[in-house]
Amino acid sequence: MPQDVDINDERSVRLERLKKIRKQGFDPYPPRVKRTHTCEQANAFFTKLADQKKQITLTGRIKSIRAHGGSTFVHIEDGTGKLQIYFKKDELGDRKYEFVKELLDLGDFIEVTGTLFLTKKEEKTLQTENFELLSKALLPLPEKWHGLSDVEIRFRKRYLDLIANPEVKNIFKMRSAIVKAIRDFMEEKGFMDVETPILQPLAGGATAKPFTTHHNALDIELYLRVAPELYLKRLIIGGFEKVYEIARCFRNEGIDATHNPEFTQVEFYEAYADYHDHMKLMEEMLPYVIDQVGKGLVIQHDGQKIDFTPPYPKITFKDALEKYAQINIDDYLDRDSLAKVATEKGLTIDKTFGRGKILDELYKDFARPKMINPIFLIDHPIELSPLTKKKPGSPNYVERFQLIAGGFELCNAFTELNDPTDQTERFKEQKKLEEAGDEEAQPADQDFVEALEQGMPPTAGVGMGIDRLVALLTDTHNIKEVILFPTLRPKNKE
């Protein structure tokens, strides 16, 4: 982007042109458009339209202008593609051609009517018989070589990024296709699309610090949801057997390449299923989604090949730490002994960290970055999973899996805890962590426990991060690249 002073100078020049346009009796922001074809259609049906000399009307933003005496060529771009436009003085007359030469700028939106022809250089072109200004741009288009490689400007002013960098548009088109494919898959499998509250009286369903807000009319504190889990389970209790939600979630946590405080995930729950069933379901879903968006099962990400061909291998949480961190976690069953060995391994352990948090930090530091091809990390320690059913015969572990690929977590899944007595005890343990200073401990949701007391059938559930999946499939290395408007620190006002 040019320096601010240059922008202001350019804006002043364009404001003067705007005054001239109005003085000449033209409306620079008319309310209606008469487009008959998109640029994509004009290109696709060019031969037929040109042979018939059919008059068509296109609309779009001016991306280039080249004037040669009594002729001017511009390129316009709409949401479907580009086309060259030819303005000829003899065709338009002095007054309108002078408008083209003196009052049109890069970035303006115009409507052009005419017929298609092929130039001597064999470029598809529309010869203009008439045109209208649709929207006068008062600021210049961003320059490709300045500013639009500036990450701060690209994320803060995403509209400039989209104008200047076509590859960015492609990322978000891919994101839309991925979400559609997920919806199609869930519907095909018989899951019902539902909506649950974003404003919640308790922020449960995930180990995360929530955002808080205040409702004036009720005079109560509310939380932006960290997950839709506990409400989706209520629907299972109520009799729906398969539910899913494309859920916007909010966690008051740090920002890095794989975390944004506001993110999107799909969560789904199925009665009469367990975590083995949903591992098989994920082995169906991911190849389906990848195929639907036109990718092969072997993708490239961060210079590495990732093969999504099922079946995916499994490794227990215990074995993963033994393999990658050389720690047998069963030898460190209390918090302090585990903290000591983690410190010896080079981790910084806060005094508020419980045993589960330390285990999670060890896993994230030593094991997860080395998991490139899809792999199910299964059977987590109970301290990490307060909403998960215990593994029969192994009371210190639970029936949980995470699908890891490309070195980060794609999904988190459980055989859901449906024993209200056990759930109450787990919430008590979370309360102790909260009292010890753990801001991510889950609150005791007594209303949810009461719902469980009505009886919940054996159930399995999965939460999958859509932002991370998009990043993986588009070979993107920062999650901000796949979120249209990522969370940023406000720019200081001078």
Q: Is residue 488 domain-resident?
A: no
Virtual torsion, Cα 463, 419, 194, 187, nearest 10 deg: 70
Backbone angles phi, psi at 264, to 5 degrees: -120, 135
Q: Does residue 347 sit within a domain?
A: no
- Count Cα atoms within 13 angstroms, Cβ side, for 468: 21
Q: Are residues 97 and 184 in the same domain?
A: no
Q: Left if phi > 0, otherwise alpha if psi is -120 to 50, otherwise beta: which for 311?
A: beta
Residue 493 has pLDDT above 60, yes or no: no
**Average per-residue pLDDT for the chain:** 94
Asked whether residue 14 falls in the same domain as residue 84, the answer is yes
Residue 109 sits in the same domain as residue 245: no
Question: Cα separation of 201 and 400, whole Å?
Answer: 27
Task: Give the per-residue pLDDT at 5.
Answer: 47
- Both tokens of residue 489? 């620190």
> pLDDT (tens digit, 9 = 90+) per residue, 445-456?
999 999 999 999
Does 319 fall in a domain?
no
Residue 53 sits in the same domain as residue 201: no
Say which CATH number the domain at 26 has: 2.40.50.140
Instruction: Give the Å distances, CA to CA, from 240 to 54, 269, 335, 494.
Output: 56, 10, 40, 55
Comparing C-alpha atoms, which of 312, 482, 296 is closest to residue 404? Answer: 312
Angle subtended at Cα 420 by Cα 417 and Cα 423, rounded to the nearest 5 degrees: 60
> What confidence tens digit (pLDDT) does each residue in 4-49 have?
447 789 999 999 999 999 999 999 999 999 999 999 999 999 999 9
Both 121 and 230 in one domain: the answer is: no
Query: Residue type at 181?
Result: A
Output the DSSP codes for 22-89: HHTT--SS-S-------HHHHHHTHHHHHHTT--EEEEEEEEEEEEETTEEEEEEE-SS-EEEEEEEH
Q: Token pair for residue 272?
A: 């009469």
CATH code for the domain in which residue 201 is found = 3.30.930.10
How far is the C-alpha of 268 from the C-alpha of 461, rounded, in Å?
A: 6
Does some domain include residue 147? no
Number of structural domains the chain divides into: 2
303 lies in the same domain as 423: yes
Q: How many CB atoms neighbour CB 331 within 10 A?
A: 9
129 and 253 part of one domain: no
In this structure, the number of other CB atoms found within 10 A of the CB of residue 198 comes to 14
Whether residue 149 is contained in a domain is answered as no
**Whether 291 and 422 share a structural domain:** yes
Cα–Cα–Cα angle for 410, 176, 179, rounded to 5 degrees: 45
Judge whether 468 lies within some domain. Answer: yes
Range of the domain at 215: 161-313+373-482
Do 30 and 85 have their domain in common? yes
Query: At which of 111, 141, 171 does a domain end?
Result: 141
Residues constituting the chain: 494
Assess whether pLDDT exceeds 80 at residue 494. Answer: no
Instruction: Provide mean pLDDT across the span 152-159.
Output: 90
Residue 144: per-residue pLDDT: 54
> Could you tell me if 123 and 257 lie in one domain?
no
Is residue 438 included in any domain, yes or no?
yes
pLDDT tens, 181-209? Answer: 999 999 999 999 999 999 999 998 888 89
Last residue of a domain, one of 82, 110, 141: 141
Residue 269, in any domain of the structure: yes
Residue 199 token pair? 């404003």
User: Which contiguous run of DSSP H or E holds residue 405?
Assistant: strand 400-405
Same domain, 195 and 99: no
CA distance 232 to 268: 8
pTM recorded for the entire structure: 0.91
Q: What is the pLDDT of residue 118?
A: 97
Residue 254, Cβ density class (10 Å: 0-12 exposed, 13-18 middle, ≥19 buried): exposed
Same domain membership, residue 200 and residue 113: no
